[in-house]
C-alpha cells in the first residue's frame, strides 16, 4: 500500500515541515481584529497554495467575513471520502507582556514551538496537510478521497461557515470527518475525544440612574446597578455547585456507568491537577469527580465584569450602569437556544427593582457526543497507535468546536477528534506552545489514518 514510503517521506521532511509551519504562524491571522483582516486573508492564501503545491485542487471561498479554504482530491473511486476540518485563524495575542518571545515569531524552547496558533489550530491542522503531501509526493496518490475545509472564523463564532456548509451539502458529502483541535490526555498519552461541551454565552447590562451619582447623597434611595448585577450573578449557582436556573438540568444526559468507570481508570491525580492550576482547592458540582465535572457536567462561569470605578484609590460613586459577560458550557442533550430562554426568564425573575437590564446572546455551540464504537474510531485508534507508538485512551473534553454539530446535522456524519495538543499548551493565553515531537507524531498518525480508512 506504500505506507512505508509515506512514513519515510514524513521522517525525512521533518525540518521542512517545521519551517513551513513557522511561515504560516508568522502570519498574524487574528480573526477578531479588523486591523488584521489582510493578514487573515494571507493565511488563507498560504493554506490554499500549500494544498495546490501538493496536487490538491483548492480555492478560497469568499464570505461576508474571512474566506474559507476548500480543497479536494477525489481520484480514489469506490473508496471512502474523509472531510478534514481545521481553522487558520487565531485568538488575539494580548496581553503581550507575559510572552517570553513575540507571539508571531515562532521560537523553539525545550522541543516546543512557542507562538500564537502553534497548537490552536495551525500546528494541529497542518498535520493533515503534511500527511496528504507525504502520500501524494511519495506514492502519487491518496488511498481515499479527501476534502479539506479550513476556515478563518472559528475563534469569533462567525456565521460564514454555517452558511457555506448548509449551501454546499452535496459538495461536502463525506463518510467521515476528522479534526485535530483538541488535546491528548497527557504527555505520551494520546487520546481520541468522543465528547465536547457546547456553549451559551451572554452579556448582561444593568442600568440604573441616568448618570453616576454621589453614593452618600443618593445611596440607599436609588438602586445601584452593580449591587443588582452582583445579586443576579450570585443567583446563577447554588452552594452545592449546581446551576440554579429552573429547567437547566432537564436535558442533561447523565454519565453512563461505563464512562464513570473509564474516567476513574485514567491515571489522573487530583493533587497534581490542583498544583498545576495553582488554586487553593478544587471546587465544583457536588457528587462528581474532577474529570466528570470538566468533561461531562454543565458549568457556569463569569468571564468578565465591568462598571463603576476601578482606578487607583477610592471613589464614592453610585454608578449608572455595569455589565457582566458569563457563559455556560453545555452537555448533551442541552440546546443552547433553550438555555438562552431559561437564562432570560431567570434574570427577569431575580433582577432587583429599580434597575433595568439588557441581555445579549453572544455565539453558541451545540454539545457533541460521538459514538465511540464505530469502525472509523477503531481505524483512528490503529492510526494513532502507529503514529505515537502507544494506544490512545478515550476521553471527553470541556472545550467547544461548533463545526462538529454542523457536520452531524448537515452532513450526517460523526467526527473523529484526534487531538495532538497538551493540556498545558496555553491556548488562547500567553506563551501558547505545541510540542514538535507531537507535531511529527500527529503527521504520522494522520498519514496512517488515510490508509486505515481505506480498508
Ligand atoms: N480548539 C478550541 C476548542 C478546544 C479547546 C477543544 C480545548 C478542546 C480543548 C477552539 O478553537 C476554541 O477555542 N473553541 C471555543 C469555542 C468558540 C465558540 C469560540 C471555546 O471552546 O471556547
Ligand atoms: Mn481551535
Ligand atoms: Mn481556540
Q: Tens of pLDDT along 380-389?
A: 999 999 999 9
Q: Does any ligand 1 atom lie closer than 6 A to the CB of residue 432?
A: no
| Nearest-angstrom CA–CA distance, 181 and 120 | 6
CA-nearest residue, atom 16 of ligand 1: 400
Catalytic residue, candidates 153, 154, 292, 438: 154
Report CA(158)–ligand 3 centroid distance (Å).
13
pLDDT at 207 over 70: yes
| Nearest-angstrom CA–CA distance, 260 and 263 | 5
Going by C-alpha positions, the residue among 417, 187, 176, 180 that lies closest to residue 295 is: 417
Q: What is the pLDDT of residue 157?
A: 87
pLDDT in tens, 38-71: 999 999 999 999 999 999 999 999 999 999 999 9
pLDDT band at 158 (very low <50, low <70, confident <90, very high): confident
pLDDT at 210 over 80: yes
Considering the entire predicted model, what is its pTM?
0.95
- Helices assigned H by DSSP within 181-307: 225-234, 257-265, 270-277, 290-296
Going by C-alpha positions, the residue among 211, 242, 182 that lies closest to residue 403 is: 182
pLDDT at 374 over 80: yes
Catalytic residue, candidates 89, 120, 151, 153: 89
pLDDT at 8 over 80: yes
Angle 3-12/14-25 helices, nearest 10 degrees? 60
pLDDT band at 363 (very low <50, low <70, confident <90, very high): confident
Q: Which ligand 1 atom is nearest residue 120's CA? A: 1
pLDDT at 230 over 70: yes
In the chain, the N- to C-terminal Cα span, in Å, equals: 11
Q: Does any ligand 1 atom lie closer than 6 A to the CB of residue 330?
A: no
Going by C-alpha positions, the residue among 440, 371, 448, 441 that lies closest to residue 412 is: 371
Give the 3-state secondary structure of 350-414: HCCCCCEEEEEEEEEECCEECCCCCHHHHHHHHHHHHHHCCCCEEEECCCCCHHHHHHHHHHCCC
Q: Does any ligand 1 atom lie closer than 6 A to the CB of residue 191?
A: no
Strand partners, 394: 192
pLDDT band at 85 (very low <50, low <70, confident <90, very high): very high
Q: What is the pLDDT of residue 455?
A: 86
CA 284 centroid distance within chain: 22
With residue 346 as reference, give the H or E element that holds it.
helix 336-350
CA-nearest residue, atom 18 of ligand 1: 157
In the chain, what percentage of residues exceed pLDDT 90?
98
Report CA(84)–ligand 1 centroid distance (Å).
17
| Nearest-angstrom CA–CA distance, 330 and 337 | 11
pLDDT in tens, 96-144: 999 999 999 999 999 999 999 999 999 999 999 999 999 999 999 999 9
Helix, strand and coil content of the chain, in percent to the nearest 5, comes to 35, 25, 40
Local structure of 243: helix, strand or coil: strand
CA-nearest residue, atom 13 of ligand 1: 155
Q: What is the pLDDT of residue 255?
A: 96
| Nearest-angstrom CA–CA distance, 43 and 324 | 34
Known catalytic membership, residue 414: no
Q: Are 306 and 210 in contact (CB under 8 A)?
A: no
Q: Are 31 and 155 in contact (CB under 8 A)?
A: yes
pLDDT at 151 over 90: yes
pLDDT at 1 over 80: no
HSE at residue 172, side-chain half, CA atoms within 13 A, is 26
| Nearest-angstrom CA–CA distance, 134 and 261 | 39
Known catalytic membership, residue 250: no
With residue 31 as reference, give the H or E element that holds it.
none
Average pLDDT over residues 162-181: 98
Q: What is the pLDDT of residue 180?
A: 98
Q: Does any ligand 1 atom lie closer than 6 A to the CB of residue 364?
A: no
Cell numbers for 376, please give them: 472509523
Mean pLDDT, rounded, of the chain: 97
Amino acid at each position: 500500500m506504500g505506507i512505508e514510503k509515506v512514513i519515510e517521506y514524513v521522517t525525512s521532511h521533518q525540518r521542512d515541515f517545521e519551517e513551513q509551519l513557522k511561515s504560516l504562524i508568522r502570519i498574524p491571522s487574528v480573526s477578531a481584529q479588523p486591523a488584521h483582516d489582510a493578514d487573515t486573508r494571507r493565511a488563507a492564501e498560504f493554506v490554499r497554495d500549500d494544498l495546490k503545491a501538493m496536487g490538491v485542487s483548492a480555492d478560497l471561498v469568499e464570505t461576508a467575513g474571512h474566506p474559507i479554504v476548500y480543497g479536494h482530491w477525489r481520484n480514489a473511486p469506490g473508496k471512502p471520502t474523509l472531510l478534514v476540518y481545521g481553522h487558520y485563524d487565531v485568538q488575539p495575542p494580548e496581553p503581550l507582556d507575559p510572552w517570553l518571545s513575540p507571539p508571531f515569531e515562532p521560537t523553539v524552547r525545550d522541543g516546543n514551538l512557542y507562538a500564537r496558533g502553534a497548537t490552536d489550530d495551525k500546528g494541529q491542522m497542518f498535520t493533515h496537510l503534511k500527511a496528504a503531501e507525504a502520500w501524494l509526493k511519495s506514492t502519487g496518490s491518496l488511498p481515499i478521497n479527501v476534502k479539506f475545509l479550513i476556515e478563518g472564523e472559528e475563534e469569533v463564532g462567525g456565521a460564514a461557515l454555517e452558511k457555506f456548509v448548509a449551501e454546499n451539502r452535496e459538495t461536502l458529502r463525506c463518510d467521515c470527518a476528522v479534526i485535530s483541535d483538541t488535546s491528548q490526555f497527557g504527555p505520551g498519552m494520546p487520546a481520541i475525544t468522543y465528547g465536547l461541551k457546547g456553549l451559551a454565552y451572554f452579556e448582561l447590562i444593568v442600568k440604573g440612574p441616568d448618570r453616576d451619582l454621589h453614593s452618600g447623597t443618593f445611596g440607599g434611595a436609588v438602586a445601584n446597578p452593580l449591587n443588582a448585577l452582583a445579586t443576579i450573578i450570585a443567583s446563577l449557582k447554588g452552594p452545592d455547585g449546581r446551576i440554579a436556573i429552573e429547567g437547566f438540568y432537564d436535558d442533561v444526559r447523565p454519565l453512563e456507568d461505563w464512562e464513570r468507570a473509564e474516567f476513574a481508570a485514567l491515571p489522573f491525580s487530583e493533587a497534581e491537577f490542583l498544583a498545576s492550576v495553582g488554586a487553593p482547592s478544587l471546587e465544583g458540582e457536588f457528587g462528581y469527580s474532577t474529570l466528570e465535572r470538566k468533561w461531562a457536567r454543565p458549568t457556569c462561569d463569569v468571564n468578565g465584569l465591568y462598571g463603576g470605578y476601578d482606578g487607583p484609590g477610592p471613589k464614592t460613586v453610585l454608578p449608572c450602569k455595569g455589565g457582566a459577560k458569563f457563559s455556560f458550557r453545555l452537555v448533551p442533550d442541552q440546546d443552547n437556544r433553550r438555555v438562552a430562554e431559561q437564562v432570560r426568564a431567570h434574570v427577569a425573575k431575580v433582577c432587583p427593582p429599580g434597575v433595568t437590564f439588557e441581555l445579549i446572546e453572544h455565539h453558541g455551540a451545540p454539545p457533541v457526543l460521538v459514538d465511540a464504537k464505530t469502525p472509523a474510531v477503531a481505524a483512528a485508534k490503529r492510526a494513532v497507535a502507529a503514529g505515537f507508538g502507544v494506544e490512545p485512551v478515550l476521553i471527553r473534553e470541556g472545550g467547544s468546536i461548533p463545526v462538529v454539530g454542523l457536520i452531524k446535522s448537515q452532513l450526517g456524519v460523526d467526527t473523529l477528534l484526534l487531538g495532538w495538543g497538551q493540556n498545558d499548551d496555553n491556548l488562547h493565553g500567553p506563551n501558547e506552545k505545541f510540542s514538535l515531537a507531537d507535531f511529527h507524531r500527529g503527521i504520522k498518525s494522520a498519514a496512517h489514518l488515510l490508509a486505515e480508512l481505506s480498508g
